[in-house]
Structure formats: structure tokens, C-alpha cells
Amino acid sequence: MKKKVVSSVRKLLFAGYYIVSLMIVPIVYNRSFKHGELSYLSKNDFKIWKKSMLKMLKEYCVAGYNFRIRQVIYTFANSKVEVIRKTEVKTENIPIVVLCIKNDLKRIRILVEHYRALGVEKFAFMDNGSDDGTFEWLLKQPDIDLFRCFEHYQTAVKEGWINRIVSHYGFNRWYILTDSDELGTYIGMEQHSLRDVIKYAEQYGIKRFKGLTIDMYVDGQPFGNTDDIRGDYRFMDVNTYFEKEVTVGKYKYKAYLGGPRHRLMNSNITLSKFPLVYFEEGTISDSAHFQFPHELLSEYKCYLGILHYKFIGKDIEVYKKRAQPNSGFSTGGLMYKQYMNFVEKTGGDNFIYEDSIEFNNSDSLKRIPLICEILFDE
């Protein structure tokens, strides 16, 4: 009974918040459009983004949650984003790789090399005040468009930045939305480029590619120093991943959980993502794990393995900061608190277990039942 009362009160509060937002959001967006923050948009695209943001907010409010989404909406309009370099997109059917970055030069080099090998011709990076040489390195890469914002990072704020980057290139394009410690892979990638993946998507009407985040680990203690991240952190779980039905807005879809973090730390972090996305009019990145409209989340199979390089070197110092209550990370840094508790209790146990395998090439993904093979035309 108490839960029903609380739920009803929450829905009333969110309904009131939505009504107020119907007045405030247009004012904020119109001001940003008029005075420069969004003035690069065409009038038509500006109207689409504004209308879609309100539509997304309505769905969350009707469902009775959550205030986090307002950060996505207002960050998109209000962030002071500096365009350092933006060049013309020459090829339409190859995804643009989009991410936000701060101080991760070693992994960002690997990521750029990985996607160049898959045929990517355009990267669009938002630098959040790097001071370790990352920004300077990005500036030297002619295929990387560069944006910069010095505002305080928060999980939802990052999604606002990602939408801002996407809005510079426009709708009806494919994008890869990623973090610097993730490499998107698929079975057959050694023989088939991303151009072939997009061809397959267009042939079968696929608008989003679902992926499973696969934590990669070393045979040894985590957080060790390495000069060869991909070579040393080449081990992965294959049979510890599972599905769980979750609700996003008013829709349900099957999310993925498991892996070594669940096995060793009792972590229930969601591991499913939709990193390869065709942005139609109305598409919004509202989470690191999915995009609006949410009714599309349950439509597609999982074709991607997202190799995740997370427990390396000085990462542990970064995670200590992220575990603090005001770190800006979702759920108060709970995920990072679990990492710290694991290290404190075990000293950082080896992640290897009896069914660990090495990732040697994309055929290794076949060992994970959740990942499907793209049936390319030969």
C-alpha cells in the first residue's frame, strides 16, 4: 500500500514538473538558439530537437521518473561548447565515432587505430579539459573533429554533450557512441568493414545495433601497469552473462548483466548498450546504454561485442574519486564503490576462472551465446 501511495505521489510530482517544463524548456531553447549556443542548427532541426526533448521528458514523467533526464535536456541547450575543428563529412554510409574524453591518451590511441582499421573516416570528440597531452594529440589527427567544454562532468551531462555533437552533423546518419575504454567488435570484422555492416543494416531495416559489454582482464592482479593493453588484457568471460527484463520509460526490453564484475563483486551494472545508431529525426541519446525512442530497444538482436578495458594502471586512483558521493557519476558512484570494496577485501584478486578464454580474433565472440553473427553477403 505504501509503495502505491509513493508511486502515485511521484507521478503527480512529475506531471507537475512536465507542465512547468512545457513553458520553461521552449524559453531556454529559443534563447540558446537566438544568442548562439544552438544557432548553428537549421530552423527545422532546431524545432525537431526541441520537440523531441519534450516528448522524451513526457514519457519519463508519465512513468514517474526521473529528474536525471532534465540534465540531458538542459545541457544540450546551455553548455558552452567550443568548436575547435569541424570538417566536412565526405562519406555518408560510414559511421561517425562520437565520444567525450578527458585524460586518456593511451586508450584513445588504441580506439582511433581500431576504428580506422574498420573503415571509419570521421571522429568527433568532446574534450572536457584534458591536461595529459590528449587534447594536443587529438588536434594533430586530421580525421578527428574536435569540440571542447570545461563544464563539470556528470553522467547525464555527458549525454547532453553527445547530442550536441550529433546535432552538428545532422540526422539521417549512422553514429558510433562510445567511451574511450570500449572497442566495438563483431564476428567477421577482419573480413568485413563497417561499410558492410551498414549495408546489412539498410538491407534488413536495422536502425540500432545492440551490444554486450565484455570486461577484458589480465592473467594477474587488476590495475597493473602495461604497455600493451590489448595484448595483456585479452581474457574474458563467456558463460557468466545473462538477460534480465528491465523498464525504460514505459517500455520493457531485455538488458544484459553478468561478467566478472557480477561474478566477483556482485555488481548488477547493465552491460547492454546500443553503440551503433542511425539517428533519425527524434532520436536522442538519453543514457550511455540506450537511446530515445525507447520502443525500438526490444526490436533488435545483439550483434556486437564491446571489449571493455577498465581495470588498468592508475584507473584505481580515478575510481577512488568517482566513488565519492558528489563525483557526478550515476547512483552516487555506487559502481566504483564496489570496485574499491573488492580491492580492499581481496587485494585485487585475479579475474581468471576455469572458463576464461583469450580474445584472439572476432571468432572468439562465437563462444558467447548472447552474441549473434551478422550474415554478410559473400
pLDDT tens across 140-188, in order? 999 999 999 999 999 999 999 999 999 999 999 999 999 999 999 999 9
Given a cut of 60, is residue 92 above it in pLDDT?
yes
Contact in structure between 213 and 310 (CB atoms under 8 Å): no
In whole angstroms, what is the distance from residue 356 CA to residue 338 CA? 22
Instruction: Tell me the mean pLDDT in the region 219-228.
Output: 88
In whole angstroms, what is the distance from residue 173 CA to residue 93 CA? 7
Residue 49 has what DSSP assignment? H
For residue 194, what are the CA distances in angstroms to 99, 111, 176, 189, 320?
Answer: 18, 15, 10, 8, 37
Per-residue pLDDT at 255: 96
Sequence-distant (6+) residues with CB within 8 A of 361 are 190
Query: What is the reported pTM?
Result: 0.94
Domain boundaries, the chain: 2-65, 80-166, 181-378
Per-residue pLDDT at 24: 94
Per-residue pLDDT at 53: 96
Sorting pLDDT into bands at 50, 70 and 90, what band is 378? low
Helix (H) or strand (E) holding 139: helix 134-139
Tell me the pLDDT tens digit for each residue of 35-70. Answer: 889 999 999 999 999 999 999 999 998 877 666 899
366: which 3 cell numbers? 562465437
- Dihedral sign for Cα 56, 61, 63, 66, please: positive
Contact in structure between 275 and 303 (CB atoms under 8 Å): no
Sequence-distant (6+) residues with CB within 8 A of 102 are 127, 128, 129, 130, 134, 153
Phi/psi at 241 (5° precision)? -95, 145
Given a cut of 80, is residue 285 above it in pLDDT?
yes
Contact in structure between 185 and 307 (CB atoms under 8 Å): yes
In whole angstroms, what is the distance from residue 51 CA to residue 85 CA? 29
The radius of gyration of the chain's CA atoms, rounded to the nearest angstrom, is 21
- SS3 per residue for 303-325: EEEEEECCCCCCHHHHHHHHCCC
Given a cut of 70, is residue 327 above it in pLDDT?
no
